[in-house]
Amino acid sequence: MHGLEFDIAHFLAGSMVVISLLLLYQDRLYALINVFAGHSLTLALAVGWQAYIQEAHHLYVTAGIALVFKAIFIPVALHRIIRKLGIHRTLEVVGGVGRDMLAGAALVALAILVMLPVTAGADALAREDLAFALAVVLLGLLLMISRHNAVSLVIGFMSLENGLVLAAAGARGMPLAVEISVAFSVLIALIVIGIFLFRIRERFDSVDMQAMDAFRGERRR
């Protein structure tokens, strides 16, 4: 493949990492959701580009799913949810963004460090994509654990999953990529619905412990 294709793929994958870092940086839910929409959009572009340069047409489907489902449908749904739950104005301050950014940077470094020796066999594109994908995955995980809010938890998870799709797309001629992304979309849809149905309120995870003991039939001490 010649330089331009490679550079574009490289650029798209890299920008996903950047956007992941941006996700870490957000402290308002609205902003978080919007940035995530951008994240998914970039993913759609990256996958589409992969489809183009690999002549793997089924990847267009994946790209389409990413575009329609993750870049449009989910963000809209989330907007409605948070408005319904009345948490759209909340500020999230967990430990401070600066710490998260540092950790994020460290994770990116780790991802590259792990990936460099690998893939002597695999071609350069796959290697790059893989390193970036791993970075995105780790950053998503970091986002998940650095926020209290159920919604941002989901967003973190979805960005992580974006990284997976990126990796899948980067893997040349990987079969079942479409099926996998479909399966994942179902999963995410369920999560979102879960939030919606179960009325999982803000900061669900820190309900009063004594109350929880009562119905868990457990003594703490």
Partner 1 sequence: MPLPLLLSLSMALLTVGIYAIATARHASCSRRVYSVALAISGVALILVLTHLLTASAPATLTLPLSLPWLGAHFRLDALSAFFLIVVNLGGAVASLFALGYGQHERAPERVLPFFPAFLAGMNLVLLADDAFTFLFAWEFMSLTSWALVMAHHQESANARAGYLYLVMACFGTLTLLLAFGMMAGPNGGYDFAAIRAGEMTPGLAAVVLILALLGAGSKAGLVPLHVWLPLAHPAAPSHVSALMSGVMTKVAVYGFIRIVFDLLGEPMAWWWGGLVLALGGITAVLGVLYALMQHDLKRLLAYHTVENIGIIFIGLGLALAFQANHMYASAALALTAALFHILNHSLFKSLLFLGTGAVLTATGERDMERLGGLIHPMPWTALAFLMGAAAISALPPLNGFVSEWLTFQAILLTPELPQWLLKFLAPAVGALLALSAALAAACFVKAFGITFLGRPRSPAATQAQETDRYSLVAMFTLAALCLLAGILPGLVVDSLAPVVGLLNGGAQLATQHTQPWLTLAPIVDAKSAYNGLLVLLFMALSGTAAALLIHRFASSASRRGPAWDCGFPDASPATQYTAGSFAQPIRRVFGSIVFQARERVTMPPPGDGRPARLEVQLRDPVWDYGYAPITMAVIAASTRANHLQYLTIRRYLSLVFGALVVLLLGMALWR
Partner 2 sequence: MSNFLGLIAITLLLVIPAGAAVVLALRSSYRIGARINVGAALVCLLSAVILLGARPEANLYLRVDDFNIYLILLNNLVSFTTSVFSAGYIAHELETGRLTPKYLRFYHAMYQALIFAMNLAFLANNIGLLWVAIELATLVTVLMVGIYRTRAALEAAWKYFILGSLGIALALFGTILVYLAAQPVMGEGLPAMAWDQLLVHAHTFDPALLNLAFIFLLLGYGTKAGLVPLHAWLPDAHAEGPTPISAVLSGLLLNVALYAVLRFKMLMSANPNALAPGPLMVALGLLSLLFAGFMFYRRGDIKRLFAYSSIEHMGIITFAFGMGGPLANFAGLLHMTMHSLTKSAIFFAVGHISQVKGTQRISTIRGLTATHPLLGWGLVAGVIAIAGMPPFGVFMSEFLVVSSTFAREPWLALPLVIGLLLGFGTLLWRLHGLAFGESHGVQAPGPTPVSALPMMAHLALVFIAGFWLPGPLVTWFQHVAALLG
* Residue 17 touches partner 1, criterion: CB under 8 A: no
Residues 6+ apart with CB under 8 A from 13: 46, 128, 129, 132, 133, 166, 170
Q: Kindly state the tokens that stand for 25.
A: 């940086």
Residues 6+ apart with CB under 8 A from 211: none
Q: Kindly state the tokens that stand for 165.
A: 């799709």
Q: Which of 41, 53, 114, 189 binds partner 1 (CB under 8 A)?
A: 114
- The interface partner of residue 142, options being partner 1, partner 2, none and the CB cut-off 5 to 8 Å by kind, is partner 1
Residues 6+ apart with CB under 8 A from 57: 51
CB of 113 to partner 1, least distance (A): 5
Q: Which of 12, 21, 44 is nearest to 140 (CA)?
A: 21
How many residues would you count in the chain?
221
* Residue 168 touches partner 2, criterion: CB under 8 A: yes
* Residue 79 touches partner 2, criterion: CB under 8 A: no
Question: Concatenated DSSP letters for 185-208?
Answer: HHHHHHHHHHHHHHT--TTGGG--
* Residue 220 touches partner 1, criterion: CB under 8 A: yes
Q: Which of 59, 81, 134, 143 binds partner 2 (CB under 8 A)?
A: 134
Q: Which of 78, 142, 158, 169 binds partner 1 (CB under 8 A)?
A: 142
Cβ-based nearer residue to partner 2, 34 or 203: 203
Residue 21: how many CA atoms within 13 Å on its side-chain side?
17
* Residue 53 touches partner 2, criterion: CB under 8 A: no
CB of 34 to partner 1, least distance (A): 23
CB of 109 to partner 1, least distance (A): 10
Name the site residues for partner 1 (rule: CB under 8 A). Answer: 107, 110, 113-114, 117, 138, 141-142, 144-145, 147-148, 153, 204-206, 209, 212-213, 218, 220-221
